[in-house]
């Protein structure tokens, strides 16, 4: 849960409203702003209320916003208004999760430091993990199987930030492929949280370490939670995935984005997944066409949507399957194609919206086993992954 969502809960909003507004700001609204060159990056990375109001005004003029906001009974305009209120309150109100001692240096409370340390430990790979609070009030270190693999710094050790993180990308991943994906994912997170670099706290050049500084305790919690959510993916090849929309250079029209994606996947050979991908796309088209009053897209025929044709949609779905190496994005189980001679309907590939309140669009899709899609229903993606993780832990211990 990020700081915006935490603030909404403190304001007394229901969990349903918090989830809807949080997903809208971090999902479709950010995607539309990027696709139409209103913004580069995430709306959640904006800290200045005046800057946000200018961007919000531009978003509300977009044809896709006008259509979806009308279909969604004003939900997206309410989400923008709520985020503006959050930024205004954050600017005007005193910081609630930190204290300001007499020397003027903002500090995180001891209770919050302990909570942060425990979350950081839980986000790391399995092994013999140990916390070492040997930096007094200025931070702590974490060891994995005897070697230091992470550190968190406060106060004098983080002079221009509230909190700074350091992670050994080599010791916290398995193999070169996962490590490279982890590094790219971490750099994306740094951009999402404002692009703040942290200083090197040790002498010498540390090639294996990633560093980031954050300005609020809420951002620190959100950063660690994202690591934990990714770590729950069973397959290391499915971890640390960057939404495709972020990987493509923003263009003035969404069609250019999908053309760039199509160019990447053009060399993918026609294989057993072709008919499977087309079947999933047709199902998605039917879902969109027959939705009545729900917050769902009229995707394929809408010129403001990235998928301007069925073939482009099919190419994108095939690229997802290729990227997932034929495995379910949530369970890690092998997907079965439609032409598999020993197909089990429950293991058949099924197209799933990561954010169930979002749309069939680039960055919000994954391919899962049919039974996983049915079980997940409209649950939040991270919440469902948490339940799968609990089941996996239970089975591993029995």
pLDDT at 258: 37
Place of tokens 């189980």: 333
Nearest to 323 by CA among 374, 278, 363: 363
Which residue shows structure tokens 């409370």? 109
Q: Which of 199-203, 240-244, 364-368, 391-395 has the lowest mean pLDDT?
A: 199-203
Q: What is the pLDDT of residues 228-270, one digit of tens each?
A: 888 877 676 778 876 543 343 333 333 333 343 334 333 334 4
Spell out the domains of the chain, with CATH numbers in brackets. Answer: 3-92 (no CATH), 99-215 (no CATH), 239-396 (3.30.40)
Q: Is 240 in contact with 302 (CB distance < 8 Å)?
A: no
Please tell me the predicted confidence (pLDDT) of residue 198.
62
In terms of phi and psi (left: phi > 0; alpha: psi -120 to 50; beta: otherwise), the region of 206 is beta
Q: Taking phi first (over 0 means left), then psi (-120 to 50 degrees means alpha), and beta for anything else, what does residue 177 get?
A: alpha
Q: Are 347 and 324 in contact (CB under 8 A)?
A: no
pLDDT of residue 95: 41
- The answer to whether residue 39 scores a pLDDT higher than 60 is yes
Going along 272-356, which residue ranges are E strands? 349-353
- Residue that is written with structure tokens 């680039």 in the block: 362
User: So what's the pLDDT on residue 29?
Assistant: 92
181 contacts 227 by C-beta, under 8 angstroms = no
Cα 113 from Cα 286, distance rounded (Å): 50
Say how many Å lie between the first and final Cα of the chain, rounded: 31
Beta strand 139-144 pairing with 129-132: antiparallel
Q: CB pairs under 8 A, 24+ apart, for 344-348?
A: 345/370, 346/370, 346/371, 347/371, 348/276
**3-state class of 104 per DSSP?**
coil
CA separation for the pair 2, 86 (Å, rounded): 12
Main-chain phi, psi angles of 125, to 5 degrees: -60, 165
* 308-353 per-position pLDDT tens digit: 778 888 888 888 888 888 888 888 888 888 776 555 778 888 888 8
Q: What is the pLDDT of residues 149-190, one digit of tens each?
A: 898 888 777 767 788 888 998 888 888 888 888 888 888 888
- CA-wise closest residue to 25 among 67, 86, 96: 86
């Amino acid at each position: 849960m990020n700081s915006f969502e935490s603030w909404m809960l403190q304001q007394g909003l229901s969990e349903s409203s918090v989830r809807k507004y949080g997903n809208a700001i971090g999902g479709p609204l950010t995607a539309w702003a990027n696709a139409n060159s209103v913004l580069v990056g995430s709306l959640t990375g904006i800290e200045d209320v005046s800057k946000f109001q200018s961007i919000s005004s531009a978003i509300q003029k977009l044809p896709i916003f006008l259509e979806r906001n009308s279909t969604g009974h004003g939900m997206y305009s309410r989400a923008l208004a709520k985020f503006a209120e959050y930024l205004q309150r954050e600017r005007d109100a005193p910081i609630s999760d930190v204290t300001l001692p007499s020397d003027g240096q903002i500090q995180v409370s001891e209770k919050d430091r302990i909570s942060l340390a425990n979350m950081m430990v839980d986000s790391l790979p399995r092994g013999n993990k140990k916390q070492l609070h040997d930096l007094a009030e200025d931070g702590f270190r974490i060891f994995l199987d005897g070697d230091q693999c992470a550190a968190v710094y406060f106060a004098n050790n983080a002079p221009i930030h509230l909190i700074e993180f350091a992670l050994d990308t080599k010791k916290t991943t398995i193999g070169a492929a996962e490590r490279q994906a982890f590094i790219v994912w971490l750099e994306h997170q740094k951009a999402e949280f404002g692009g703040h670099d942290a200083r090197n706290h040790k002498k010498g050049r540390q090639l294996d370490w990633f560093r980031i500084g954050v300005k609020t305790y809420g951002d620190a919690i959100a950063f660690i939670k994202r690591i934990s959510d990714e770590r729950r993916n069973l397959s290391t090849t499915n971890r640390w995935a960057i939404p495709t929309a972020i990987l493509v250079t923003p263009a003035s029209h969404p069609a250019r984005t999908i053309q760039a994606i199509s160019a990447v996947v053009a060399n993918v050979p026609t294989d057993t997944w072709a008919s499977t991908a087309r079947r999933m796309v047709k199902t998605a088209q039917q879902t969109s066409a027959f939705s009545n009053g729900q917050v769902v897209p009229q995707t394929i025929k809408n010129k403001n949507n990235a998928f301007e044709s069925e073939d482009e949609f099919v190419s994108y779905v095939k690229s997802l399957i290729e990227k997932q190496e034929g495995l379910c994005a949530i369970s890690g189980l092998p997907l079965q194609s439609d032409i598999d001679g020993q197909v089990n309907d429950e293991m058949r590939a099924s197209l799933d919206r990561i954010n169930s309140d979002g749309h069939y669009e680039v960055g919000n899709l994954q391919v899962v086993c049919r039974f996983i899609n049915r079980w997940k229903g409209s649950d939040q993606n991270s919440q469902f992954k948490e339940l799968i993780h609990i089941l996996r832990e239970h089975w591993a211990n029995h």
